[in-house]
Amino acid sequence: MTEFHRLYRPALFKDVIGQEEAVRMLSDFLKQKRMPHALLLYGPSGCGKTTLARIIKSKLNCDDGDFAEYNAAETRGIDTIREVKQRAGLAPLWGGVRMFLFDEAHKLSSDAQNALLKILEDTPRHVYFILATTEPEKLIPTIRNRCTDVRVKALSVACLEELVGRVCASEGKRLDEEVRDRIVEYADGSARRVLSILHAIINFPDKQDQLDTIVKGDVRTKAIELARLLIFSQPQWKEVAAMLQTLDEDPETLRRMILSYTTKVLLQGGKGEGRAFFLIDVFKESFFTSGRAGLIAACYAVTTSK
């Protein structure tokens, strides 16, 4: 069975939900035939950055053979940029343009970013670059100055409910309202997360099985449990360490979800306000480089603070 986030990925601008401003801007560029040669798509994970990039590829009639996608988390060094520079200098094989997409572009090394900047400063007319990132501030300022920014937003509850309804109708399934609400709550604004959860539970005949599966596999629940422990319980480090040993999720994903919950606690005020502010300060730097060690260090700092 094809995964839902692939099966239901929009192929046209009109099918993209919740990104009206970004779609309007990109459509205008295309209509006026002035698409920037360097685009920066930035915003939360799972909300449509790569989808919009692929639609642009189609609109510019970029053939698959002239399209290259790089995951900067895996190919982040200067050798990647040298390869791009070599390919960019060649004429398109089939279509009229070449396109290079860098996913999680902020993970490119400093040397790689500086090498990429030189290409962006003198981009051939037939070449387009799209940089997609959740952390645009991690890119060097000169790269940002060379790109046209397009913001991709977290999806609203209404948009996510619409997405759930659309997929269920297409699959010929009915979903209990409580299950739908739980999916939307745990998706935290991410269309991809909604589709992943739906793919996992849609064929379960029992409502309770669906709910149990959502909770069991939900990273957000674990992140909230950890955040609540740090904010409200003032635990000993041994207790926090025991919880950390049960977590094998991506540390950066956990960090973002902890910050999302903690921000809500801070804005609501009352009990835990001071601890929430301190936790936000400690967790504000990403764990992309430090990984699990960064998560453990941040939790230790919060736990041992006076």
| Cα–Cα dist 3/253, whole Å | 21
pLDDT at 146: 95
Six-digit token string for 11: 């192929």
Assess whether 121 and 171 both reside in one domain: no
Residue 196 lies in a domain: yes
| Cα–Cα dist 113/290, whole Å | 20
pLDDT at 218: 65
Give the model confidence (pLDDT) of 269-300 as tens digits. 767 788 899 999 999 988 877 889 999 999 99
| Cα–Cα dist 112/80, whole Å | 8
Residue 8 lies in a domain: no
Residue 11 lies in a domain: no
Torsion sign over Cα 245, 247, 249, 255: negative
pLDDT at 91 over 80: yes
Q: Look up tokens 């430090």; give the residue.
A: 290
Bridge partner residues of 41 (DSSP):
132, 150
| Cα–Cα dist 63/68, whole Å | 10
pLDDT at 221 over 80: no
pLDDT at 75 over 80: no
Closest-CA residue to 210 (of 234, 189, 181): 181
| 218 CB-near residues (< 8 Å, 6+ apart) | 186, 197
CB atoms within 10 A of CB 95: 17
Provide the residue range defining the domain that includes 205. Answer: 157-216
Give the model confidence (pLDDT) of 22-74 as tens digits. 999 999 999 999 999 999 999 988 899 999 999 999 999 999 999 999 988 77
Residue 9 lies in a domain: no
**Which segments of the chain are extended strands (E)?**
38-42, 67-71, 98-103, 127-133, 148-151
- Domain with 184 in it: what CATH number? 1.10.8
- Domain with 105 in it: what CATH number? 3.40.50.300
Mean pLDDT of the chain: 90
Average pLDDT over residues 209-226: 79
Give the total residue count for the chain: 306
| Domain count of the fold of the chain | 3
pLDDT at 209 over 70: yes
Assess whether 66 and 143 both reside in one domain: yes
Read off φ and ψ for residue 71, nearest 5 degrees: -95, 105
Give the model confidence (pLDDT) of 141-159 as tens digits. 999 999 999 999 989 999 9
Residue 297 lies in a domain: yes
pLDDT at 270: 67
Residue 42 lies in a domain: yes
Q: Over pLDDT 90: what percentage of the chain?
A: 62
Query: Do the strands 67-71 and 127-133 form a parallel or antiparallel pair, or are they unpaired?
Result: unpaired
Residue 14 lies in a domain: no
pLDDT at 84: 92
Assess whether 250 and 145 both reside in one domain: no
pLDDT at 1: 67
Residue 287 lies in a domain: yes
Domain boundary among 117, 135, 151: 151
Domain boundary among 130, 151, 172: 151
Assess whether 38 and 72 both reside in one domain: yes
Instruction: Select the more confidently predicted residue: 265 or 127.
Output: 127
